[in-house]
Amino acid sequence: MRALVVFESMFGNTEEIALAIADGLQTAYDVDVVNVDEAPPVLSSDIDLLVVGAPTHALGLSRAQTRSEAATRAPGETVTKHKNLRDWLASASRSRNTVYAVAFATRAVKVRWLPGSAARAAAKLLRRRGFESLVKPTDFYVEDTLGPLLPGEVSRARIWGAEVAAKRVESDLDRL
């Protein structure tokens, strides 16, 4: 089975989580990880699972204004420079009927009380586009805007990836 992980990331934290999730998925999948800047407009027919992730900006997925605000705070260039997950999700198309999908986000622990997450917003867009949800959207935490990830979050992401893969196998067994 083949999985594609598409991430948006300004300062590198979401990219790190994406790579750890891909590691976990490898228990059941051949996995490719791509920055949304390079994500394909059409998912090839061998992709069974799509995993998408983005940083939470202003309670949801980034917008032009939040991305330029992030760019002014970045010590160097941002990791994702040209595209964004919201637009990619709005236009990406599948070449087969059933593609499973899950969403994750990073967000700041300092504002944990704020509602909203890029993962929930992305999961909603995935549902609208007809993807089959596998597990609930999940958040991973950074200490502050630029990071770093809280201790343990990379391992948690690896475990989450393995759990998603297990869930996919379980859904096949349920159909037998």
Task: Give the binding site for ligand FMN (CB under 6 A).
Answer: 9-14, 55-59, 66, 69-70, 106-108, 111, 114, 142, 145, 147
Radius of gyration, alpha carbons of the chain: 15
Q: From residue 145, how far is each of 120, 128, 155 by CA, in Å?
A: 19, 30, 21
Q: Give 41 or 75: the residue with its C-beta nearer to ligand FMN.
A: 75
Residue 47 host element (H or E):
strand 47-55
Compute the least distance from the CB of residue 35 to ligand FMN, in Å: 11
Give which of 47, 44, 38, 29 is closest to 6, Cα–Cα.
38
Shortest Å, Cβ 168 to ligand FMN: 25
Q: Which is nearer to ligand FMN, 106 or 164 (CB)?
A: 106
CA distances from 139 to 19, 35, 71, 86, 147 (A): 15, 18, 22, 17, 14
Q: Which is nearer to ligand FMN, 100 or 140 (CB)?
A: 140
Residue placing its CB nearer to ligand FMN in the complex, 56 or 84: 56
Question: Closest separation between CB of residue 147 and ligand FMN, Å?
Answer: 6
Structure tokens at 151: 């201790």
At closest approach, how far in Å is the CB of 175 from ligand FMN?
A: 36
**By three-state DSSP, how is residue 81 classified?**
coil
HSE (side-chain half, CA atoms, 13 Å) at 124: 9
Q: Closer CB to ligand FMN, residue 10 or residue 134?
A: 10
